Each structure stands twice: as C-alpha cells, then as structure tokens.
A and B are shown apart, each in its own frame.
Chain A
Amino acid sequence: MTIPLIVLLAGVVLQIALARVLTARSKGWLAFLSGLAALAAALALIPTIRSDGSLDGTLFTWDQNVPVVYHVDALSLVFMLLATGVGSAILLYCVDYMADEPGGVTRFYALILTFIAGMVNLVCSSSLLIAYFSWEVIGLCSYFLVGFWYKETAAANGARKVLLMTHIAGYGFLAAVLLLFHSAGTFLWTDPALGAAFSSGIFLLLLIAAMAKSVIFPLHTWIPEAMNAPTPVSALLHSACYVKAGVYLIARLYAITPWQPEWKTLVLALGCATMLVGALFALVQTDLKRLLAYSTISQLGYIVTGLGLGTPIGLAAGLFYALSHGLFKGTLFLCAGSIQHATGTRDLRKLGGLAQSMPQTARIWLIAAAAIIGVPLTNGFAAKWLFYDAALDDGALPVVIIALLVSTVTAFYMLKATVGAFYGEPSPSLAGVHVHEAGPTMRAGMWTLAALSLLFGIAPQILMKWIVAPAVTALGFTSGVETSWLGLSTGSGSAQATGGAILVLAALGTGYVIYRLSQISPATAVNAFSGGDPLPEGAPVTLTAEDFSDFAGEALGPVYAVTDPDRVYLRAWQGLRSAIASLDSAVTPRVEAHPLALTAGLAILVGLLVWIS
C-alpha cells in the first residue's frame, strides 16, 4: 500500500544525493525507473482492492493526534494509476528532452517525483488534514515547476498566478476540514460522523478549492499563464494530474456524504460553463500550448459535468473521461513540446509543414487529436459516448446540447492546430532552422500514451471493468456500468437509440477528415474550408491558424469580454492597491512623525474601551 509512495520518495532522495555524480540523462533514467516502480506497485494493488474493496492502515503520527491514515480504494487507484502511469511515460520522454538543459535538472526531477508522491498521498489519505497537506504540496511543486526557468520574467509571472489562484482558493479546503473537525471531532472522512457534519457551506468551500485546482470557470485563468513551464510539466501537471486533484476531491465527496440536488445543479452549471468558455477561448489561440491549455479547461468541464450528474453512469463517464484525458492530452502536450524542442517556437503563425520533417510526431499527434475530438477507435470516443449516454439517461438535455456544441468547436480548433502545425508548406519562419524529429525516448513516451489511447478506445472494457466500475462502487453506488468493444454499448440501454446514432455519424465524419489529412502528402497545400464564399483572387490557398483565430476573435469579441474573469480580478487588485496606498499615505507619515503623542492618545482610547467593556 505504501510502496508507491516509498519508491517515489526514494527517487527524490537519490536524485538529491547523486546530483553531482549523475549526468542529466542518468537522472532522467533514474526518475523514470522510480516512476515505473511506483506504477508497478500501484498495479499490484488492483487484485486486492477488487477483492477486499479497500486497504486500510495507519502509517505514522505526523503531528500530535494527527496520524497519517490510508484508505486505498478503487477511486484512489484511478488517480494513483493516472499519476504514476502517465507520469512514467512523461519521465521517459524527459530523458531526451532534459538532456541538454544547462542546469536545474536535479531540481526538476526531484520536484516531478515529489509531485507524483504528493498526488499519491492525496488520494490515499483518509485524514482530510493530511489530504490538504498533500494538496498544497502538489500546489507548491506546480508553482516551482512552472517557474522552473525562473530567470525568465514570463515563467516567473506564470508561477505567481498559479500560486495565488490555487493557494488562496485552497483555504476553502482547509477551512472546510477544520470546520468539519470542529463539528465532528475527526479528520477522517471514513468516519460517518464527518459525513453527518456536512453542510452546503462546507460543500461550497471544498468546491471552490476543487474549482481552482481543476480550472473550473471562473477560477481557470491561471492555466494559460502556466504554459511557460517546460512542456513535460504541462503534460503531467496541466493535463494528467494536477488538474485532476479537484476532480478527485469532487468525486470523493460522494463517498463522504449524499449530495443535495442543488449541489448537483451547481456542479452541472459550472461544468457546462467551463466546457463552453474553454473551447471558445481555445479557438482564438495562436500559441499551441495556450490552445491546449484552454482545451484542458474545456475538457475538465466535461469531466466535472459527468461527475455532477451524480448517477452511476455519470460518475463512470467522469472517471473514464479523466483517465482518457490524461492520456490523450498528455500526448498532445508532449507533441507540442517536441515541436518547440525542434523549432524553437510554439506559435502556430510560425509553424507549418512539420509532418514532413517530424512524421512520427505528426502521426502521434493525429491519434491524440482524434481522441480529443472523439473519433471512434480512440478512448476519447468511448469517454464521450459514456458522457452523452449518462446525460441523456438523466434527461439533462441542456447538457447534451452544450456538449455537442463544444464537441464541434473542439473539432474545429484541433483541426486548426493540426493543419497549422503539420500541414501545408513549411513555414518561412523556419527557414534555416534544422527541424528534427523527436529523440528516441521522447518518441517512446509519446507513443506509449498514444497507444494506450488507442487500446482503451478499442477495448474500453479493460478500464471499465478493472478500474472505473470498482471506483463507482467505492463511491457508494451500485455500479452496473459496463461497456463493450469500441465503447459502443454502455449497458444503460436507454440512450443509444436517440442520440447515439447521430453522434457516431458525426464522429465518423470527423474521423474521415482526420484520415484524409493523414493521407495528404505533407508537402501539399491544404484546401481549406472558406466559409462558403470563394477566396478572393490572389489570396493564399490555405487559411492559416491566424486567419481562424482572427475570425473567431472578431465574431465572438463580446463573448470574450464577458467571460474573462481576469478583468474582474485585475480591477479588484487595482482597487485594493490604490485604497492601500491612500491609507498608507494618510496614516504612516503622521504616525511616524509623532509616535509618542499618538501612543498616548491611543492608550487613553484603550483605557476607555476597557472601562466600558
């Protein structure tokens, strides 16, 4: 039960102890092996948890009367596997990616391993205080990793935003835990007394913390700024793990207390808004990683909405989607990293035609892009299918409509990114740049994740039977959720006939487009959809990423103005700053010029207060 944690922490210790001995590449292999061992240990838990339901144990006393108590159930396992599995693939990718980094490699690997260990500890702890502790540990790791290149102002600023937004919201978690302890006298969520002490206020506090971690609107705006991190960090933290911590917390709440109907409504509303806002903002991005960041926001909206449905199939959809998103979004980020590694830029306006020089990266990208769009044979399709089925089954028609709309937008911006980066003529901006295919371990890491996306798209029942369905059961539901080859049958029986057929046709159509793209000779210009009107004389035969972004930006301008919470945050900060400056200039000079007289006056005032109290 504790082996994954021990192995990861041993990896951290070895990284630090051998910092001066090992090369950057050796440190990478060491970190990868630590991750792999942790994954193996997590996998080894599956049979026991399937048979016994959970593993329980007290490790040691962290603070007075606050022991570290583990309750490892199938839900814990979902997130443990996500952290250690995707983490291992990304660490493999890092071996080549970080090999030429001039400094800070030990810091990098120590932080990544600590992050994974923190995630494991979070999902295994039954003490909510220890869970909060882990919550903040992964938050700090994220902060330091985003600011890895701390001498660059953009990276430092991104890290600042990460820390401010996630840590402040995290006080909701701490406040909830302490208020629960105040009422129930325990930190253990496994104790029924804690569940009995739950209230809507406590739920809201926890939800706020989860929203900031899982980039739920309107607390999502830190993630695009976090894209100045090294790309493996974006892949691990901002697709697979960190943003899933909030998902875990929301899911875990089902195991602690029954949900009130209004809680579900609130989560559904937030999830749908997040889906929509993320996708709309992704449309106008020209920076590949920022596009993927907004896409993460949108995808997290799907996941949280699935959980918010609160039915067994809804929870299964949310959890299956969380795992799938970790795989395909991790792949997309790693591809973006390979592109940046090879070209020195991630600006879609300066990219193009990379399929010619990076054919393997292009193929991997296409698999992952197909998955995020929801093309059959990929895990993205199985996840979306479950999601729609759950929403239809629950009668949540608005959710279905919004999700369909967002799916269309997703296909649009992913095709834009695909065409912009890989197809058409090679960009003139790259003239003179030796664009090269990703190194062997980078490719191995990417292929691993992409292959798993395909495997769980073709045979989603593996995940469903062994991981997801037991997790739904662990949350107190009679699961009964199953899925077939390709994810076409979910066993719920009511929804397939209505929305399913349309969805399959739409997805197959998109799949055909992707297939056609993969068949085009990389050097050939792509005929782009121009909106119905013929392109003007002399116009380029392809539309660039910039054209799409400009179009979306102009057409949806007012929407962006209304849905950008950063404007509100900035105004609040400016108001606070000017109020404080006024206060300081009014008070400090007077106080410091006449300290004794002021003190005497205040002493009299205190005397009066005591007298009347």
Chain B
Amino acid sequence: MNLMTSLSTVVSESSHWDLFMGGSFLVLFAAIATYAVPVPQGDRRWWGLVAAIGALVVVGMSAVDGTARTVMLDLAAFLAVALVWVQGSAQAVHAARNYLVLLAAGIAAMTAGLLIAGESVTPPDAPLDHLAVGLLVIGFSLKLAFVPFYVWLPLVAEAAAPMTTALIVATVDIAAFNELAHLRTVSPWIFEQYEALWIGVALLSMFGGALFALAQRDLKRMLAFSTIDDMGYLLLGVVVGPGVGLEGALVGALSHALFKVLLFGSVGLAEHQIGHALTLNDRGLAARCPAATVAFIAGALGMIGVPPIFGFAGRWRLYLAGADYGGAWLIGLMALATALALIYYVRAIHTVWLGQPSTPETPDEPPLASAVLLTLTVLGLALGLLPSLVTAYVS
C-alpha cells in the first residue's frame, strides 16, 4: 500500500510529458535491445551498461525530479562514455576519451551555472548573471553537441557501434535536452536576456551541422552532423519559449529520438549484412537490405519533417516559433537549413540505398532486427497521421 501511495505521489508530481517521455524512452530501449540480439553491438559489458543507462534515464525522466533527476541523467551520460569505451578499438577509446573529458567539462559548467543561477525566475546580481549564463551555454553546448562544441559526437559516431550512438543521441542527450527545456520554464531570464546568444548557437548548429553533414562520406558521421543540425532547431524552440516554441522543441525532441534510432539502426543493419562501414561509395543496398532501406528513408523523411511522418508535428511548430520570433527572415533561414538537410539525406538515399547494387548477394536481413525497424517505421507514420496522440501530453 505504501509503495502504491509513493508511486502515485511520484506520478502526480511528475508532469504528464515527463512520464510520456519516460515511457517513450522505455520503448526505445526495448527496441534497441531487441535489435541488438541478432545484430550484436558489443559484449556482455555493453548489455550491462545499456540496462543501467536505460534504468537511469527512464526512472530519471518519469519518477524523480529536481537534483535527483539531474544526477541520474548525468550518471547515465558517464555510463554512455563507458559504452563507447567498451567497444574496444583504439578509435573507440580515443573517441570515448574525448567524449569523457568534454562531457565532464560540460557537466561541471552546467552544475556551476545552475548553482549560480539557482533555478530562479529572477537573475542574480551582475556579474553573476553573466557568469551563470556563460557556464550554462558552454555546459549545454558541450553535452548536447551544439556548434561549435560538437566535436565529440562525430568521433563517437564513427568509432562506436551504430546503436551505441543511437542510444546516446536518442535517449541520453534527449533527456538532457528536456532538462534544458525545463530550465526555460523555471528561469526564463537565462534565455530572454541572452536571446541573441542562444539564437546564434541555434543557427550555427543548424547550418554548421547541415553543411558538415553534406561534406561527409561516412554515413554514421553524416548522421552525427544531422543530429547537430536538428538540435539547432530544437534549441531555437526552447529559446522562443512557452507556447508553440517549447511544444515544438519537446515534440521535435521525441521525434528526433525515434528517427535517430531508425537511422542508426538501418545503417547498423546494412553494415552487419555487407561487413563494412557504410559510405557513399556503396550502391543499391535496397536490393540487399529492403527493411533497412525502408527504415532509413522513413527516418530521413522524419528528420526533415516531411508529412505525413511524425517529424512534421514538431517541425511545423518550430517553424511557427521562428515566425513568431523572427518573422519571414527566420523562417527563410530555417527552410534553407532544412533544404540542405534534404539534400544530404536524399543524396544518401539515392547513392547508397536505391539504384543498382554494387555489393554481392547477402543473406536475408535478420527478421527480428527487421521487425524492430519496421515497427518503429509504422509507429513514426501512425504518429504522423495522428500526432494529437502525443501532443495532447505536451501542453
């Protein structure tokens, strides 16, 4: 009885959205774990770390609040570093080392910034307000890989197994992003008094991510830069704030999580089938890996925000936030960045997946992994057709 009372207290204290996100993370962890059975992503340590990260993120998002949540999510981020480290290769260790140092610096900066800011609706006296915001900008940028603090993410994406990166960007980072959104509501001055700075970081991430993604030949690196690109949109929504901005950011973050799992999952499945890292030199994989192809195309369209895929539900709100904040010029810039994203995704789809195959015949895709990807694809489509199933929770 006591347990039930405690649980109901926890549930009533957490917002509906946090519970919904916690549930969504649970689904994504289950999908990643199921996928990893036929398409191995690491040894037993990997499984243990995934379970620990899953528990920390799901419980942290849905059952606790305040400092306890922050500590749990930060711990999950450090375990994510270990997840990269246990991949074992020299490249992975190098990436993990960089990730660790930058993450530690980011968390330290965030913690210091939060302590100074004090989660208050009013700013502290000058110059502490400047110091707090500076630390928070640097801290969140390092943790969420905003430009110009993005460097750890492409390194991790290139070195780690695809679902490891998916897990980091789709759960650990998105949970941290929710913390940023939370900060927007409790301490609005951090964003409102420094709008230009935050908007600058958002635009830099959008365009930097998109332009660098266009330059990549390795698909995992391209996806890493696409994450950076998308985080720019989400940050913009947070800066614009309560109402359509924050709603767009949160819904966009959820769709980002879903589609990043699809994208990294499809790349991972294809790599598993053909036996080497996927690059723009590969051709016509649709003939060899049909399920991965469907998932990649759905993931790409979802990331770009093409109706009727779920990504549109977040994207139109973010565009509207852009219109509210900056009018036609900001919408124009956002559309331009999205057009760049369309170009790099479509290039990948039509170079690597469609067209005549260049690789020899491969065995059929593992049914379990295919089923996971196709289920998530159908979910992305269903939520796109009926987004109110999700957006009802966000307000």
Contact = CB atoms under 8 A, between A and B. Distances in A.
A136 B331 CA distance: 18
Interface hub of A160, A580, A599 (most chain B Cβ within 10 A)? A599
16 contacts: A62-B387, A63-B391, A64-B247, A64-B395, A129-B316, A137-B307, A140-B307, A140-B308, A147-B354, A150-B286, A171-B338, A179-B331, A181-B320, A606-B138, A610-B130, A611-B134
A168 interface: yes
B387 A63 contact: yes
A602 B301 CA distance: 33
A611 B134 CA distance: 8
Nearest to B136: A610
Contacts of A580: 211-212, 214-215
A178 B151 contact: no
Interface string A142-154: 0000010011110
Contacts of B137: 606, 610
Interface of A: 61-64, 129, 132-133, 136-137, 140, 147, 150-153, 156-157, 159-160, 163-164, 167-168, 171, 174-175, 178-179, 181-182, 201, 576-577, 580-581, 583-584, 587-588, 591-592, 595-596, 598-599, 602-603, 606-607, 609-611, 613
Contacts of B342: 163-164, 167-168
A613 B194 contact: yes
A264 to B, nearest CB: 23
Contact of A61 (B151, B152, B388, B394): B388
B357 interface: yes
**Which label, helix, strand, loop or mixed, suits the secondary structure of the B interface?**
helix
B320 A182 contact: yes
B71 to A, nearest CB: 24
Nearest to A598: B151
Nearest to A169: B339
A132 B307 contact: yes
- What 5 A-B pairs are tightest by C-beta distance, nearest first? A584-B215, A156-B354, A610-B134, A171-B335, A136-B307
A372 to B, nearest CB: 33
B334 to A, nearest CB: 9
Nearest to B193: A613
Interface string B125-136: 001001001100
B320 A178 contact: yes
A137 B324 contact: no
B301 A606 contact: no
Given A133-B312, A596-B102, A611-B134, A182 B215 contact: no
Given A599-B142, A613-B197, 17 more contacts: A62-B386, A64-B391, A64-B394, A133-B312, A136-B306, A147-B354, A168-B339, A168-B342, A175-B323, A178-B319, A179-B328, A182-B327, A583-B211, A602-B148, A606-B137, A607-B138, A613-B196
Contacts of A592: 151, 154-155
Contacts of A611: 127, 130, 134
Contacts of B301: 140
Contacts of A152: 355-356
Contacts of B11: none
Given A64-B391, A595-B98, A583 B357 contact: no
B214 A577 contact: yes
Contacts of B394: 64
Given A64-B395, A175-B335, A178-B323, A599 B307 contact: no
Contacts of B216: 584
